[in-house]
Chains A and B, each alone.
Chain A
């Protein structure tokens, strides 16, 4: 009897809001960051190995795919840092009111995009 009972729908039906989105993105970007740090270390060690591997990395970074990966990593790091600051403030016991948490969440989301653009422009020697 008890085992027959179905489980009521959960993540399938629950509405997303700013705070839950930032929370799940924090986890996802965290995993992306671990992978990308490993990748960056690999690339750096390849750079010093030989002329051939240097050329491969150079080609990859200049391809569309490479640029996308770099921009993605920049966004992911920006997001993680801003979201972590938000978490630190929350650990001090501030920012739990619904309105404030929504505002700080939006700052994290849009701030990460702004940071990515700024880093891109710095990389392009615009500043």
Chain B
């Protein structure tokens, strides 16, 4: 049975309040989830007053500003700042997304920032994604060919290549998987939208020769069929992909294929 509430050591407490020191008139309150592994304390919500006059447009810019100018102890992942690497995936205003592509103008009221949902927190906004990467490995995301002597490139028609559109663009930021209630309650067994989208990407690749064994592998009550078309994944995806549709396509293939 799924645990709806949070365990005792995860209950969020009220934290510190950082008052603005710049004297700016254009302030915004930013509430950020904090947890320090070096203490025994519960996680807390720290509130920062941020001067919006000197802040660029994205949520990541706010975090950078806080880290540089207000509180250097804040920890979060970030790298490219252009929505390509997927490092800065987090929960902003109750929805998963990349901090570097989410404009803070689109958020009404105070800005609430949490780590990706239902993960073991390592520090502040950094969640532990080991389980997801292990599942990703389990679907063997590489091209499999039986013809070992083949040394030339394997050709693919334009039509077959077009089938990969909407699947290969995934940057594995985990926004979708951690937005999925099914993945929250059954994350140890259910593969989740991100990994299933990748499984789909290899199943439909015309160059891959292990299609049937790949299908057989995901054909499992818990691995695949925990998708109940909640569509949190599709609405969270910062790249505009549709994992829910990919999962439905896998289900359809399994229903019609003779394996």
On whether the beta carbons of A5 and B231 are closer than 8 Å, the reply is no
Assess whether B55 is interfacial by the CB under 8 Å rule: no
A91 and B114 in contact, given A11-B4, A15-B94, A19-B231 (Cβ under 8 angstroms):
no
| Listed residue (B119, B181, B231, B251) with the most chain A CB atoms within 10 angstroms of its CB | B231
- Known contacts A14-B94, A98-B231; A8 and B117 CB within 8 A of each other: yes
Q: Could you tell me the distance in whole angstroms from the C-beta of A79 to the nearest C-beta in chain B?
A: 15
Contact across chains for A7 and B118 when beta carbons are under 8 A apart:
yes
Given contacts A13-B94, A19-B235, A20-B230, contact A6 B181 (CB under 8 A): no
Answer whether residue A96 sits at the interface, using C-beta atoms and an 8 A cutoff.
yes
Inside 8 A of B242's CB, which chain A residues have their CB? 96-97
- Chain A: residues with Cβ within 8 Å of the partner, total of 29
Shortest Cβ distance from residue B251 to the other chain A in the assembled complex, whole angstroms: 7
B interface footprint on A55-74 (CB within 8 Å = 1, 0 otherwise): 00000000000000000000
A8 touches B114 (CB 8 A): yes
In the complex, how many residue pairs between chain A and chain B have their CB atoms under 8 Å apart?
110
- Cβ–Cβ contact A7 & B7, under 8 A: yes
- A124 on the B face (CB < 8 A): no
Known contacts A93-B248, A98-B231: A6-B7 contact under CB 8 Å: yes
Contacts of B1-46 to chain A: CB distance below 8 A: 4, 6-7, 9-10, 12, 33, 35, 37, 40, 42-43
Asked whether, in the complex, the Cβ of B93 is within 8 Å of the Cβ of A2, the reply is: no
Q: Inside 8 A of A91's CB, which chain B residues have their CB?
A: 248, 251-252
Q: Pick from B80-88, B121-129, B153-161, B216-224 the stretch touching chain A.
A: B121-129
- 17 sample A-B contacts, Cβ–Cβ < 8 Å, listed by A number: A7-B10, A7-B118, A7-B119, A10-B118, A11-B4, A11-B184, A14-B179, A14-B232, A15-B95, A17-B232, A20-B230, A20-B231, A27-B228, A90-B248, A91-B251, A93-B252, A96-B245
